[in-house]
Structure 1
Amino acid sequence: MSSDFEGYEQDFAVLTAEITGKISRVPRLPPDEKKQMVANVEKQLEEARELLEQMDLEVREIPPQSRGMYSNRMRSYKQEMGKLETDFKRSRIAYSDEVRNELLGDDGNSSENQRAHLLDNTERLERSSRRLEAGYQIAVETEQIGQEMLENLSHDREKIQRARERLRETDANLGKSSRILTGMLRRIIQNRILLVILGIIVVITILTAITFFVKGH
Structure 2
Amino acid sequence: MSGVFEGYEREFKDLSSAVQRKTQALEGMGGEARKAKLAELDGDLAEAESLIRRMDLEARTQPPEAKGRLLARLRDYKADLNGLKKDAKRLAMPRAGDASRAELLGDSASAADQRNRLLTTTDRLQRSSDRIEEGKRTILETEELGVSILQDLHQQRQTITHARDTLHSTDDNLSRGRRLISSMARRMVQNKIIMYAIILLLIAAIIFIAYKKLGGHK
TM-score, structure 1 as length reference: 0.52
User: What count of residue pairs does the alignment treat as equivalent?
Assistant: 165
Q: Deviations over 1:44-85 (max 9, x none)?
A: 112212333454466467554334322211122124334544
Shift of 1:13: 3.0
Amino acid at match of 2:196: Q
Match of 1:202 among 194, 201, 208: 208
**Unaligned regions of 5+ residues in structure 1, if any?**
97-135
Do the aligned residues in 1 keep the contact of 2:56 with 2:74 (CA within 8 Å)?
Answer: yes
Query: 1:151 & 1:74 partners in 2: Cα distance?
Result: 27
Q: How does 1:164-179 map to 2 (within 5 A)?
A: 164-179=170-185
RMSD over equivalenced CA pairs, Å = 4.5
Matched AA of 1:202: F
Quick one: percent identity of the two aligned structures? 22
The residue number in structure 2 matching 1:8 is: 11
Any residues of structure 2 matched to 1:78-157 within 5 Å, and which? 78-85=78-85, 88=88
Per-residue CA shift, 1:7-56, capped at 9, x if unaligned? 2243143134246547x859x966x6664444222211122123334544
Say whether 1:189 aligns with 2:195: yes
Report Cα offsets for 1:163-207 as digits up to 9, x if no partner: 543332232122112111111112211221222132123222322
- Cα distance in 2 for partners of 1:77, 1:3 equals 13
Q: Distance in 2 between matches of 1:176 and 1:6?
A: 62
Match for 1:71: what amino acid? L
Does the 8 A contact of 1:8 with 1:55 survive in 2?
no
* Aligned residues of 1:5 and 1:58 also touching (Cα < 8 A): no
Cα distance in 2 between the residues matched to 1:159 and 1:64? 23
Q: Do structure 1's residue 75 and structure 2's residue 78 form an aligned pair? A: no
Answering whether residue 186 of structure 2 is matched by residue 180 of structure 1, we say: yes
Distance in structure 1 (CA, Å) of the matches to 2:17 and 2:188 = 82
Residue identity matched to 1:190: Y
2:20–2:84 contact (8 Å) kept in structure 1: no
TM-score for the superposition, normalised by structure 2: 0.52
Gaps of 5+ in 2: 97-142
Distance 1:18 1:157 in 2: 56
Question: What is the SS of the residue equivalent to 1:75?
Answer: helix
Q: Secondary structure at the match of 1:46?
A: helix
Residues 61, 18 of structure 1: alpha-carbon distance in 2 compared, 3 angstrom cutoff:
farther
Superposed, which structure 2 residues align to 1:14-93 within 5 Å? 14-18=17-21, 21=24, 35-56=35-56, 59=59, 64-85=64-85, 88=88
CA distance in 2, matches of 1:40, 1:179: 84
Q: CA deviation at 1:161?
A: 4.3
